[in-house]
A and B are shown apart, each in its own frame.
Chain A
């Protein structure tokens, strides 16, 4: 699976949009981009994933560049409860490829 690069940490003001970037320049055609987050002392939580098109759900939006070499996770109105480590993961859709390869993620702090 392709590697990802994320900033180590970011701050965002409460109520503003949090934009978390991820580079995955070696991504291949059948690899999806997944985002998980981990709040302190809890297990990771699935947020969203996408292949080519932009995606939106009740938690966030995922913007993938046309060349698919980078993406941005957007939390539209950040709250204090969004403070967490956010992981960008690339994983192939091949049958039998089940594991997620986590990096060190971005520590997002929401500031009151």
Chain B
């Protein structure tokens, strides 16, 4: 499978716990994006990497959130001290700068986080 892979698909955690999600992009894609989607809304941009460099962060990404992309391959998104308002679908996408204009972004199926 050459698509964008996200793990886990579902995560239930207690308020105050830390959680980490992983995204494996399409191997030849140098750009990687994280989005968050709450029920009934469209996805909202969180952050973007070009290779290992984090080039843009949304103001939605509070100091409890951190994203990394070591070596420019897979990426992790960590949420510390989770709150009920963090419950959402977390989507990862990747693209090639050159092919983006033709094929757009490729999204994964997301990780659904429920904070109880």
Report A-chain residues with C-beta under 8 Å of the C-beta of B44: 102
Chain B residues near A103: list those with CB within 8 A: 42
A49–B104 Cα distance when bound, in Å, is 8
User: What is the total number of residues of chain B having a CB less than 8 Å from a CB of chain A?
Assistant: 24
A13–chain B nearest beta-carbon distance, Å: 26
Closest A residue to B44 by CB, please name it: A102
What band does the interface of chain A fall in when counting residues whose beta carbon is under 8 Å from B?
20 to 34
Using A43-B4, A46-B103 as known contacts, say yes or no to A101 and B109 having CB atoms under 8 A apart. Answer: no
The answer to whether B55 touches A104 (Cβ under 8 A) is no
Q: Is the beta-carbon distance between A43 and B42 smaller than 8 angstroms?
A: no
Q: Which of A21-70 contact B (CB under 8 A)?
A: 34, 36, 41-46, 49
A44: nearest residue on chain B (CB-CB)? B107
Contact B91 A43 (CB under 8 A): yes
Task: Tell me if A99 is interfacial: C-beta within 8 Å of chain B.
Answer: yes
Task: Report 27 cross-chain contacts, Cβ distance below 8 Å, ordered by A residue.
Answer: A36-B104, A42-B107, A42-B109, A43-B4, A43-B91, A43-B107, A43-B109, A43-B110, A44-B43, A44-B91, A44-B93, A44-B107, A46-B103, A46-B104, A46-B105, A49-B101, A98-B33, A99-B45, A99-B48, A100-B43, A100-B45, A101-B45, A102-B44, A103-B42, A104-B40, A104-B42, A105-B42
Residues of A bordering B, CB below 8 Å: 34, 36, 41-46, 49, 85, 87, 96, 98-105
B interface residue numbers (CB < 8 A to A): 4, 31, 33, 40-45, 48, 55-56, 58, 91, 93, 101, 103-110
Known: A44-B91, A104-B41. 11 other contacts (CB 8 A): A34-B104, A36-B104, A43-B108, A43-B110, A44-B93, A46-B106, A49-B101, A85-B42, A98-B48, A99-B33, A104-B40
